[in-house]
């Protein structure tokens, strides 16, 4: 009886979690608005070609596809950042602009655990901005948003794709091979990363640097070690940029909220500079992910520097539950029942209690017995004799 079940990778959100989700959304909405981000909602259904015929094309097996009435292939929104980039490039001529969103995206390959096919996200994008100060502001706001969501002991892990690109430049790799090495490093698969490098004819210096990438994590002390590994101009420029971002974040008071990982493996074509992830101990995957993607809007006809991040709201709920910070079940402040013929007075009492700021339930059954089934701090019975508190 599959009609009683859900497909793998999707979940219902029940009342307690749904109330927590609404609370998190409310906090983030206020944070976004306070920082000057304008809300936007992209279309949930787009053309398949929007995501398949671009430089940063998404694999077709990741997209939920269906056919329009005219035979054109459509998809459910598979990437929030690309959809917002499309809006910025085609519909918002004024730059710079800061946008915020609450959107679902769908990934047909995700299934189970903290991975989901339906991903509920909140996020921000800053278009038309460049430089270390913009990057540092975005990372600082990411740390703020983790706290606003109610998470404790979160940390933002920072890297830079330019460092890995620079390390791999001298290895003779194609773009596809470089991306394969990146994926292997991200999966902690040193054996296959080295296999691809050897097949490409990489020299010993490149092999040694790639082997060292997983060790380049920690505080600002990693910068000296990273520079000592390579003379590549791009890689060393990435380290210099990270030093400046670190200086600014320290000046802003965020030194305790960040760490660095130069082996962080995010897409080398999607991202153009700094990358970062928001981590908490209780969840084995990032609850927040972002970075700089100066080339994404190019696919939609305009070059617009951009940086931003997305927060996975379902993962936030998992983390809040494991931290013991998920709100308890809500109990009504008041419950009202009435005798037959007193429905109008009962409804008026409910409205009066609601106007006082009390969450109030009106029983659908008559008499005092109807109140027994309702959970509330105050209970009232309305009869011809008047209102009596039970």
CATH classification number, 2-322, choose in 3.10.180.10, 1.10.1740.10, 3.90.870.10, 3.30.930.10: 3.30.930.10
Task: Work out the angle between the directed axes of helices 233-252 and 161-169 (0-180°, nearest 10).
Answer: 160
Residue 144 has a pLDDT of 98
DSSP letter at 363? E
**What count of other Cβ atoms lies within 10 Å of the Cβ of residue 236?**
17
Nearest to 243 by CA among 161, 130, 164, 158: 158
The first and second tokens of residue 55, run together, are: 């430089």
Helices and strands in the chain, H and E counts = 13, 16
**What count of other Cβ atoms lies within 10 Å of the Cβ of residue 326?**
17
Unique residue bearing structure tokens 């909602």: 41
The first and second tokens of residue 10, run together, are: 């999707």
Residue 215 has a pLDDT of 87
Per-residue pLDDT of the chain (390 residues; tens, 9 = 90+): 567 888 888 889 998 899 999 999 999 999 999 999 999 999 999 999 999 988 888 889 999 999 999 999 999 999 999 999 999 999 998 889 999 999 999 999 876 556 789 999 999 999 999 999 999 999 999 999 999 999 999 999 999 999 988 888 867 777 778 888 888 877 777 778 888 888 877 888 888 888 888 889 999 999 999 999 999 999 999 999 999 999 999 999 999 999 999 987 677 678 999 999 999 999 989 999 999 999 999 999 999 999 999 999 999 999 999 999 887 778 899 999 999 999 999 999 999 999 999 999 999 999 999 999 899 999 999 999 999 999
Residue 113 has a pLDDT of 58
**What count of other Cβ atoms lies within 10 Å of the Cβ of residue 109?**
11
Unique residue bearing structure tokens 């009342």: 15
Domain boundary assignment for the chain: 2-322, 332-389
**Strand 38-39 to strand 97-106: parallel, antiparallel, or no bridges (unpaired)?**
parallel
DSSP letter at 215? G
Q: How far apart are CA 297 and CA 75, in angstroms?
A: 19
DSSP letter at 364? E
Residue 268 has a pLDDT of 63
Secondary structure of residue 382 in the 3-state scheme: strand
The reported pTM is 0.91
**Strand 332-338 to strand 360-366: parallel, antiparallel, or no bridges (unpaired)?**
parallel
Residue 346 has a pLDDT of 98
Residue 280 has a pLDDT of 97
Secondary structure of residue 282 in the 3-state scheme: coil
């Amino acid at each position: 009886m599959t009609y009683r079940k859900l497909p793998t990778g999707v979940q219902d959100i029940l009342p307690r979690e749904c109330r927590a989700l609404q609370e998190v959304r409310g906090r983030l909405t206020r944070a976004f608005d306070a920082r000057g981000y304008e809300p936007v909602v992209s279309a949930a259904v787009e053309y398949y070609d929007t995501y398949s015929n671009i430089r940063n094309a998404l694999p077709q097996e990741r997209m939920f596809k269906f056919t329009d009435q005219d035979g054109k292939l459509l998809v459910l929104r598979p990437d929030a950042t690309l959809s917002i980039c499309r809006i910025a490039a085609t519909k918002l001529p004024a730059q710079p602009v800061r946008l915020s969103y609450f959107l679902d995206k769908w990934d047909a390959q995700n299934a189970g655990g903290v991975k989901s096919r339906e991903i509920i996200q909140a996020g921000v994008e800053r278009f038309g901005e460049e430089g270390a100060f913009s990057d540092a502001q975005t990372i600082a706001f990411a740390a703020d948003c983790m706290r606003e969501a109610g998470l404790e002991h979160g940390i933002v892990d920072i890297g830079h794709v330019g460092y890995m690109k620079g390390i791999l430049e001298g290895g003779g790799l194609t773009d596809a091979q470089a991306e394969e090495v990146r994926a292997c490093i991200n999966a902690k698969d040193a054996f296959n990363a080295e296999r691809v490098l050897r097949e490409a004819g990489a020299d010993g210096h490149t092999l040694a640097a790639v082997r060292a990438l997983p060790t380049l994590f920690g505080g600002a002390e990693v910068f000296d070690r990273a520079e000592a590994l390579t003379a590549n101009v791009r890689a060393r420029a990435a380290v210099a940029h990270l030093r400046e971002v670190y200086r600014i974040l320290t000046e802003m008071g965020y030194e305790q909220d960040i760490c660095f990982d130069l082996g962080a493996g995010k897409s080398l074509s999607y991202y153009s500079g700094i990358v970062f992830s928001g981590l908490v101990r209780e969840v084995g995957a990032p609850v927040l992910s972002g970075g700089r993607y100066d080339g994404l809007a190019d696919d939609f006809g305009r070059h617009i520097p951009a940086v931003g991040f997305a927060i996975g709201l379902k993962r936030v709920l998992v983390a809040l539950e494991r931290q013991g910070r998920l709100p308890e079940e809500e109990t009504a402040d008041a419950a009202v029942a009435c005798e037959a013929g007193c429905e109008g007075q009962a409804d008026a009492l409910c409205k009066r209690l609601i106007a006082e700021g009390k969450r109030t339930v009106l029983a659908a059954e008559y008499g005092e017995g109807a109140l027994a089934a309702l959970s509330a701090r105050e209970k009232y019975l309305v009869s011809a004799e008047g209102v009596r508190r039970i």
